[in-house]
Amino acid sequence: MHTEVPAQPTIAADLMLLLFNPRHGTIAGEGSLHYPLGGAVLAELALDDHVEIEPGGTFTAGKVAAVGSGPADPLLREAWEHIEKKPLSAQSFLTAAGPKLRDPVLDRIVARGDIIRTERKIWRIFPSTRLTDGGTARRPELVAQMESVLVHGIEPAPRTAILGALLSASGQLHSLHRDIPWSGSVAKRGKELEKGEWAAEGVSKAVSSAAMAVASSVVLTSAVVVSTTH
- Is the confidence at residue 176, as pLDDT, over 70? yes
3-state secondary structure of 49: coil
Of 105, 95, 96, residue with least CA distance to 20: 105
Residue 220 banded pLDDT, cuts 50, 70, 90 = low
- Is the confidence at residue 2, as pLDDT, over 50? no
- Computed over every residue of the chain, the mean pLDDT equals 85
Q: Please identify, in words, the CATH class of the domain defined by 11-222.
A: mainly alpha
Where are the alpha helices (H) located in 71-130, listed in sequence order? 74-80, 90-97, 102-112
- Is the confidence at residue 4, as pLDDT, over 70? no
Break the chain into its structural domains and give their ranges: 11-222
- Beta bridge partners of residue 65, listed in sequence order: 52
pLDDT digits (tens, 9 = 90+) for 120-175: 777 777 778 899 999 999 999 999 999 999 999 998 888 999 999 999 989 999 99
Give the per-residue pLDDT at 102. 96
183 half-sphere exposure, CB direction, 13 A CA radius:
10
Give the per-residue pLDDT at 151. 96
- Is the confidence at residue 229, as pLDDT, over 80? no
Cβ atoms of 2 and 10 closer than 8 Å: no
Name residue 145's amino acid.
Q
- Is the confidence at residue 227, as pLDDT, over 60? no
**Bigger pLDDT: 222 or 142?**
142
CB atoms within 10 A of CB 197: 12
- Is the confidence at residue 36, as pLDDT, over 60? yes
Cβ atoms of 12 and 40 closer than 8 Å: yes
- Is the confidence at residue 193, as pLDDT, over 50? yes
pLDDT digits (tens, 9 = 90+) for 50-97: 998 876 655 555 789 999 999 999 999 999 999 998 999 888 898 899
State mean pLDDT over 177-197.
Answer: 92
Among 100-114, 182-196, 214-228, where is mean pLDDT lowest? 214-228
Give the per-residue pLDDT at 158. 87
- pTM exceeds 0.85, yes or no: yes
Sign of dihedral through CA atoms 72, 79, 82, 191? Answer: negative
**DSSP sequence for 154-195:** PPPPHHHHHHHHHHHHTT-GGGGTTTS---HHHHHHHHHHHT
pLDDT digits (tens, 9 = 90+) for 194-206: 887 765 554 555 5
Give the per-residue pLDDT at 217. 75
φ/ψ region of 205 (left if φ > 0, alpha if ψ in -120 to 50, else beta) reads: alpha
CB atoms within 10 A of CB 207: 18
CA distances from 165 to 107, 142, 146, 226 (A): 24, 14, 11, 20
Q: Which helix (H) or strand (E) holds 66?
A: strand 63-66
Give the per-residue pLDDT at 90. 85
Of 190, 114, 115, residue with least CA distance to 147: 190
**Bigger pLDDT: 104 or 208?**
104
